[in-house]
Amino acid sequence: MSEREQSLAQIEKLVASHVLHGSESLCKLLRYLAKHALDHPGTPIKEYQIATEVFGRSADFDPQLDSMVRVQAGRLRGKLAEYYSANGADDGVVVELPRGTYVLAFHQRTHASKPHLSATVEHELQGPRPTPSQRKWFVATISLGILLAVAALTILGLLWNRNSAQAGSSRDGELAPAAFRVFWNGFVSGQEEPWVIFSNAAFVGRPETGMRYYDTAKDRGSFVLDHYTGVGEVLAVHELDRVFGLLHRQIRVKRGSLFSLDDAKNNNLIFIGSPFENLTLLEIPGTQEFVFRRMASGSRKGEEAIVNVHPQPGEAKEYLPSPRNEPLTEDYAVIGLVKGLNPGQAALILAGTTTIGTQAAVEFVCRQSSVEELLLRLPVSQAGQLKPFEAVIRVKVTRGVPVGTELVALRSGTS
């Protein structure tokens, strides 16, 4: 097998490895860089070329405004290091992406056996053994070093606790991935913190005897409970708080039944939950391509669904979760960035047909890998502003927990 064939075989081995499993964008980048390195040895490659030819960026792509290529290259570099530190430790070909370049390097590894050393030679290599006094001095030195290290860690811990709430910490700034800074830019660049409005539907009944959704036809005049919400909404607020902490901003949280249109006029908004439960969404502009409706007929009549208003080839007309009389194993959720009541404001809608789908939608936009996947398919202005879009994700559910998501439909420039 020629050296080129060995190199290409190693690339395919990497693509099939567990560290790159499911990372379609990184596999595509790896194959592209490998072909360039083998076809044009030593020839540099520009960010612009990678952005337009690998990731489909438009001709006006500016690497100064969009760090997507650098982010993806950094991820690939880390994946290669992870592979060769574990499963690939004995591979004959080592693939490397050196820092500061996009030129992939291939190294042939020789497996030389370690020679057996006699006890005498090993003793000579190890050098003379320390005397008792030297050992005491050595132990004292190590003990002092440990004490100094503990003291230093204690001081660092105190400084960290004191500075963790300060947005100006440069080290904290490194914790926010570039993809987060692009995706959440519109919500962290304003003077006011965004409002996070979580759903809390109206119920009737009592927790100890049984509760159900309020029905205007049956429950008029009944005592209404409007201070309950789903587990997905609770975990969603926690995830958003974590991400905004990385971005040095805070969020203001309010339950849907207490939210007013005055709040909506002059603030960026993040809605957690569908219009079936987050009733405020019925009063403001929402998604236009993927809308929540109850099925009007058929075997699923009355059940919540996401309707695809203008289905594209290969897309479903409706997205429904598992039937009500079966365990929930699949759900669907909408992720939609739309304009707010004030044209200068934005609203992000994160909503599933169930509370588990809502949790998955929020986790999708709070996870670096999925945000990067989404950004690769969305237009970003030269000023770094994300344009309006609507997306649907399929959610795999196991024992009430979202364990996997897949982007199944996307519309950009919808507002």
Under 8 Å CB-to-CB from 90, ≥6 apart: which residues?
Answer: 111
Q: Does pTM surpass 0.75? A: no
* Residue-level pLDDT, tens digit, the chain, 415 residues: 788 999 999 999 999 998 887 788 899 999 999 999 999 988 899 999 998 999 888 888 888 777 788 888 888 998 898 899 888 888 999 999 998 889 999 998 765 433 343 343 333 334 444 555 555 555 555 554 554 454 444 444 444 444 444 433 333 444 688 899 999 998 988 778 899 989 877 787 877 778 777 777 777 777 777 777 888 999 999 999 999 999 999 999 988 877 776 667 778 899 999 887 776 676 677 899 999 998 988 889 989 999 999 999 999 999 999 998 899 999 999 999 998 877 778 899 999 999 999 999 999 999 999 999 999 898 776 666 788 999 999 999 998 999 999 999 999 876 5
| pLDDT at residue 8, as a whole number | 93
Res 124: pLDDT:
33
Q: What is the pLDDT of residue 164?
A: 42
Instruction: Please tell me the predicted confidence (pLDDT) of residue 132.
Output: 54
What integer pLDDT is reported at residue 109 of this predicted model? 78
What pLDDT score was predicted for residue 206? Answer: 79
Check residue 116 and give its pLDDT: 40
Secondary structure string (H, E, C) spanning the chain: CCHHHHHHHHHHHHHCCCCCCCCHHHHHHHHHHHHHHHHCCCCCCCHHHHHHHCCCCCCCCCCCCCCHHHHHHHHHHHHHHHHHCCCCCCCCEEEECCCCCCCCEEEECCCCCCCCCCHHHHHHHHCCCCCHHHHHHHHHHHHHHHHHHHHHHHHHHHHHHHHCCCCCCHHHHCCCCHHHHHHCHHHHCCCCCCEEEECCCCEEEECCCEEEECCCCCCCCCCCECCCCCHHHHHHHHHHHHHHHHCCCCCEEEEHHHCCHHHHHCCCEEEECCCCCCHHHHHCCCCCCEEEEECCCCCCCCCEEEEECCCCCCCCCEECCCCCCCCCCEEEEEEEEEECCCCCCEEEEEEECCHHHHHHHHHHHCCHHHHHHHHCCCCECCCCCECCEEEEEEEEEECCEEEEEEEEEEEECCC
**Whole-number pLDDT of residue 120:** 34
pLDDT of residue 358: 95
pLDDT given at position 170: 36
